Amino acid sequence: MLLISACLIGKRCRYDGEGFDGYPELARLVREGRAVAVCPEQLGGLPTPRPPAELQGGDGSGVIEGTARILGLDGGDVTEAFLAGAHATLAIARGCAATAAILKARSPSCGGKQVYDGSFAGKLMPGMGVTAALLEREGLDLYDEEDFP
């Protein structure tokens, strides 16, 4: 069983209220019952649309450890919502016995290799989003829309 970021199958759950329709093979996996679609940010209680958010002071591992935060472009601290969504996603992964996840690249929740650096200037830094870091700690294999098998 797989987890898949809901935005990658066209669900309009991104911060800007949009989704992606360019991955029909991922949507097919969900329709066939071989994958479960999740949006950690919505699971954490954030609305759609919502202000863009970026990691401050580290990456998702730092958020889990309490040394980094997630702030919205509007200055609001959304760290707790991102953590709640990550834990809700982990509960879903455990519940469906997921062994891997295909997550949205560069997202403060789902990014697996790079995330935005907190400057809101489009600059990337190495690191993971909060949900990706939590799922990796649980032993799931992580992919994104750019490298899934």
Residue by residue, DSSP assigns 42-85 as: HHTT--SS---EEEESS-HHHHHHTS-EEEETTS-B-HHHHHHH
Predicted confidence at residue 130, as pLDDT, reads: 98
Partners of 142 in beta bridges = 101
Using the 8-state DSSP alphabet, how is residue 149 labeled? -
Whose CA is closest to 82, among 113, 123, 121, 115? 115
Predicted confidence at residue 149, as pLDDT, reads: 75
Low-confidence residues of the chain: pLDDT under 50: none
pTM value is: 0.96
Predicted confidence at residue 148, as pLDDT, reads: 87
Q: Which residues contact 28 (CB under 8 A, 6 or more apart)?
A: none
